[in-house]
Structure 1
Amino acid sequence: MDLLVVTGVDPALVDRAMMSLSWDSPRAVAVRHRIDPESQQLTRVVSHAGGILEHEGIALEHACISCALRKDVVPTLERLARDGQWATAVVALPTSTEAVQLDTVLASDLRLARRLRRRTTVAVLGAEHLGADLLSAVPLRDRRWHTGPDDERGTGETLNAPDRVRRRRRPRPGPEP
């Protein structure tokens, strides 16, 4: 199953992008995960053009992004891929999750990598305060965009995270040592 991954820090913008992409993709299922930093609960919503298929709360021992990926995001995607009904999953990761975190999980398991293929990532940014947000040290917590009680990341740090994903470059041909 192909994965179209949506990331960002503003849940409303992420939801809009996810819905737009899922409507434009034939045989698509939309998978949205959110972490409530106060209750330490992960919420999963799975839907398609016909409506909501699942809406569940999952209690996490530690509501961090890596636990959410391991405990529910990846198992849900694997289950939907096994079902065979969906060609594409539009995946809205928990707020402020870097797509590379999902890639790391998929790359560590060949069985998963054969079944789930990330085709693209959309990093959603708001245009109104884009420049200020990219340079901002304002904590995600101040905007209620954090993922847990110990999430001290800043808005700019998180928005710039897609730049951390680097492609391997082939070494330039040069003289032999």
Structure 2
Amino acid sequence: MTSPITAPGTTATQADTRPGVTVLTGFRPEPTAAVATALAAADPTMLVVSHDVSRLESGIVRRLVTTATDTIEDATVHLDHGCLACTVRDDVLPTLARLADNHPGRDIALVIPSTLEPSALAAACAYCHIDGRPVTELVRLDSVVAVIDAATFLDDLRSDDDLSHRGLAAADNDLRTVADVAARQVEYADTVLITGGDGDFETTRLSVLTRRLAPWAVHVADTANLRDTRRFDADTPEVFARGLEGYPIGVHDPSPDCGVSSLVFASRRPFHPGRLHALLGTIADHTLRGRGHLWLASQPDHAVAWESAGGGLSMGSLGHWLASLPDEDRDDVSPRRRLTADLEWDPYYGDRGIKLDFVGLDFDAVDLQRALTTCLLTDAELSTGEETWRTWHDPFAGCLDDPTDEPS
């Protein structure tokens, strides 16, 4: 039996009196707002916090704090910089802290803006201080609920639109796509709720799809089980780094269920850079979502993140493999990653390896497995060794460098 979650500085025997915050995230704001309304109706003491960021480019945000029957606050906030990060730091977190002080014992439903990813909010809560106190000392994130609009979610996940194309970019340099945000909101959530479905085949298929996207989440049918769940885990890593930290990255279920298939591809061998590069378009075009990490033979020092959605693909460095680090530098990575590496350590490869998960509709998982396998180094290529691999032509050269590396 686990101990109750306690605020920093308390003991396990002391009651946790921090207000619980239910974070509601969803790419379509209307269903998310409707869930907040239902929560408030079920508990007259609950406070609902939302922010209208339609004028964010001008540095103006409207904050609403309501209950089922009253408006507690309706304020216009002027920010020095018009971006979502500033909104979170300068108003969302101070509002949570103020409500915790002024309305003790009242839980909060926080409706975050549709393009704010819940992982960014959780990170801000973990590191920001309000009046010298950590936000997590004042409030407790209870759960992150992804609210799925049955009528639009699949279209959003398939979309190749950038947020800027829909006038939704969080800042001038916001290069995220609609599909990126829609997928990440579900994947980071510990609770998933589909709204607007009528029980037909499309709704059933969407349920299967979201369970493949977030097999680690609790999937609920209504708002009855969204309060006081203590499902939120502050240590949850970004989805593409889950495998490095020992978390599952997906469910291997290649047989279609309502047309939904999922493939977990794992290997201790590296990818050949040229053959993988030639396959990128095929993978991105035929699957709805891909996430995980890999290693390239031509860049054996760095773990590489893979994230694909809506036909787009991004790759980047996740830092060094532990096998490429001196022992004294390994303390800089998380204890969980060190433990995972120790458990999976290979005498030849160390902690290097590939763990990728792909989810899609009507794609042939067996064919994709075969295609990815052809990208792995052959026995003959493996035998030539790392020094030879580094000399191969690499289409990814210069694109995946670790930003923390010091120039030599």
**TM-score category, normalised to shorter length:** 0.7 to 0.9
Amino acid corresponding to residue 30 of structure 1 in structure 2: V
> Which stretches in structure 1 are left out of the alignment for 5+ residues?
none
For the residues of structure 2 that align with 1:153 and 1:21, how far apart are their CA atoms? Answer: 31
Inter-partner Cα distance in structure 2 for 1:39 and 1:15: 24
Partners of 2:29 and 2:155 in 1: CA distance: 18
Task: Show the counterpart of 1:119.
Answer: 142
CA separation of 1:8/1:32 partners in 2, compared to 1, >3 Å: closer, same or farther? same
Shifted more, 38-47 versus 142-151: the winner is 142-151
Match of 2:78 among 39, 51, 59: 59
> Could you tell me how far 1:95 is from its partner in structure 2?
2.2
Unaligned runs of 5+ in 2: 1-18, 189-235, 247-335, 348-408
Question: How big is each residue's C-alpha offset from its partner over 1:27-46, in whole Å with a ceiling of 9 and x where there is no partner?
Answer: 21000012124433111000
TM-score normalised over the length of structure 1: 0.85
What is the distance in 1 between the residues matched to 2:23 and 2:344? Answer: 41
Q: What is the SS of the residue equivalent to 2:31?
A: helix
Aligned to 1:50: 69
Partner of 1:101: 120
Label 1:87 to 1:155 Cα distance change in 2 as closer, same or farther (>3 A).
same
Question: Residues of 2 paired with 1:14 and 1:143: CA distance?
Answer: 19
State the Cα deviation string for residues 117-171 of structure 1 (Å, max 9, x = none): 1111112222113222112111334444444455443210110113255375454
Answer with 1 or 2: which has the greater Rg: 2
CA distance in 2, matches of 1:115, 1:38: 30
Corresponding residue SS for 1:3: strand
Matched, 1:8 2:22: no
- Number of residue pairs aligned between Structure 1 and Structure 2: 177
Q: Compared with structure 1, are the counterparts of its residues 86 and 33 closer, same or farther at alpha carbon in structure 2 (3 Å cutoff)?
A: farther
Match of 1:89 in 2: 108
Look up the equivalent residue of 1:134 and give its one-letter code. Answer: L
Q: 1:75 to 1:142 in 2, by over 3 A?
A: same
Tell whether the 8 Å contact from 1:34 to 1:93 is kept in structure 2 after alignment. no
Structure-2-length-normalised TM-score: 0.39
Secondary structure of the corresponding residue to residue 50 of structure 1 = coil
Q: Percent of counterpart pairs with the same letter?
A: 26
1:153: which partner in 2?
Answer: 176
Provide Cα deviations, 1:90-117, integer angstroms capped at 9, x if missing partner.
0011221111212112212463212211
What is the one-letter code of the residue matched to 2:86? C
> How far 1:13 sits from its partner (Å)?
2.1
Of structures 1 and 2, the one scoring higher in RCO (CA 8 A, sep 6+) is 1
